[in-house]
Amino acid sequence: MRLQIEHMTKFEYDMPITEAYTEVRMRPLNDSSQRCQSFELVTAPDLNEFRYTDRFGNDVRFFDLISPHQALILTAISEVYTPASYFLPQPDLSPLDLHDYLMASPLVPLGPALHAFGQSHKIVSARGEIDVRATALALMTATNHVLKYKSGLTDVSTKADQALALGGGVCQDFTHVMLAACRSIGISSRYVSGYLYVELNNRQPNDPDPDLATHAWVDVYLPNEGWISLDPTHNCEQGERHIRLAVGRDYTDVPPTRGVYKGNSKEQMKVRVRVFK
């Protein structure tokens, strides 16, 4: 499916601030399954833009605005072709990926409760080996059942064990809980940040608020094969409505924007995401 995304972020300050540095991870990923046709980032004021590719393969743009200012507006416009169903072939993982996608990370601790949750949905084949695909699908459904979608219950720094204990949260928390469960039982998995296309007259309760946020779900690694992608918030596999932006160990590796500035002013951030067919 061909989709267009307009992602606007507006930072406002009640007093002038200086030396603002911003990093942006908003360019849709380009891989053998999803194709990013075009991407443009517009800043107001117009700033010199720089880029690099981070260790997870994500495209990062960054810029500075050091003179005093009270507003900064970023608009990311992308055009992307999404597959009907997603699969990314990758016969083996590097030693670092093997380590990173299996170990605890800042927001995905592997405590006893999460381990027990993972263990209780483990599906073992007749030969006594874990069936990764079936287990991952079971964990997706289980996560979807054990957590209730509710915004305001958690925030960006809520960890997987806290979300599990609270019994709810937003897509970020669903994703962290499922990641922790997978990793606890030896399944390599990673965080996916992205968008979800929702027709305006067809919104479901679990769909992201188009004025607030991006979406998140889970990539699971099938040994010797590659990545499948599962959305525990909607209890479905990644489909043509999912747009992939960035991957990492957890949210801390992939925030759409990250910034620092100097000044004693309060920052107000407004985000508006629109996805069109």
Partner 1 sequence: MLSRVADSLFWMSRYIERAENITRILTINFNALLDMPMVDAAKSWRPLLAISGDLSLYEDLYPEINVRNVMDYTLWHVGNPNSVINCIVRVRENARSVREQISSEMWEHLNRLYHHLRSMNRDATRRSPHEFFTIVRDGSHAFQGITNTTMPHGEGYEFIQLGKYIERAGMTLRALDSKYATVNALPEGLPEASLHLIALLKSCSAFEAFRKSNGSQLQASRVAEFLLLSSEFPRAVRFCLQHCLDSVNAISGKESDVIRTVPDRQTPQRLFGKLNAELEYLDMQDVLDQSLVDYINDLFARINAAGDTITRSFFSTQVILPPPRGMAALQQSHQQQQQQQ
Partner 2 sequence: MSDAAVQSLKSVLDQYELGGFFDEMFSTPHQPHPHYQTLYGQLSDLNPQLFDERRRAADASFLYQGITFTVYGDNDDGIERIFPFDLIPRIIPHREWAVIEKGLVQRVTALNQFLWDIYHDQRIIREKRIPTELVFGAKHYRREMIGLNVPQQIYSHIIGSDLIRDDHGNYLVLEDNLRSPSGVSYMLENRQAMKRTFARMFARYGVRAIDHYPQELLNTLHSVAPHHEADPNVVLLTPGIYNSAYFEHSFLARQMGIEIVEGRDLVVHDNKVFTRTVRGLKQVDVIYRRIDDEFLDPLGFRSDSTLGVAGLLNAYRAGNVTLANAIGTGVADDKAVYAYVPDMIRFYLAEEPILQNVPTYLGLRDDDRQYMLEHLDRLVVKSVNESGGYGMLIGPHATHAEREKFYDMIVANPRNFIAQPVISLSRHPTYFDGEIHGCHVDLRPYILCGEKITLVPGGLTRVALKRGSLVVNSSQGGGSKDTWVLQE
Q: 36 with 27: CB under 8 angstroms?
A: yes
Nearer to partner 1, 65 or 104 (CB): 65
| Cβ-Cβ contacts under 8 Å for 129 (sequence gap 6 or more) | none
- At its nearest, how many Å lie between partner 1 and the CB of residue 4? 20
Q: 231 with 193: CB under 8 angstroms?
A: no
Q: Which of residues 68-97 bind partner 2 (CB under 8 A)?
A: 94-96
Query: Binding to partner 2 by residue 44, rule CB under 8 A?
Result: no
Taking the C-alpha atoms of residue 34 and residue 164, their distance in angstroms, rounded to an integer, is 32
Q: 207 with 213: CB under 8 angstroms?
A: no
Taking the C-alpha atoms of residue 273 and residue 146, their distance in angstroms, rounded to an integer, is 28
- At its nearest, how many Å lie between partner 1 and the CB of residue 66? 5
**How is residue 156 annotated by DSSP?**
T
**How is residue 159 annotated by DSSP?**
-
Taking the C-alpha atoms of residue 269 and residue 73, their distance in angstroms, rounded to an integer, is 10
Of 42, 44, 66, 212, the one binding partner 2 by CB under 8 A:
66
Segment interacting with partner 2, rule: CB under 8 A, options 15-23, 77-85, 208-216, 220-228? 15-23
The mark string for 51-90 relative to partner 1 (x by CB under 8 A, - otherwise) is --------------xxxx--x-x-----------------
* Residue 87 interacts with, from partner 1, partner 2, none (CB under 5-8 Å by kind): none
Half-sphere exposure of 52 (CA within 13 A, CB side): 6
Taking the C-alpha atoms of residue 8 and residue 214, their distance in angstroms, rounded to an integer, is 11
Nearer to partner 1, 64 or 267 (CB): 64
Q: Which of residues 180-219 bind partner 2 (CB under 8 A)?
A: none
For binding to partner 1 (CB under 8 A), which residues are involved? 18-19, 43-47, 65-68, 71, 73
For binding to partner 2 (CB under 8 A), which residues are involved? 19, 21, 23, 48, 50, 52, 55, 62, 64, 66, 94-96, 98-100, 103, 258-260
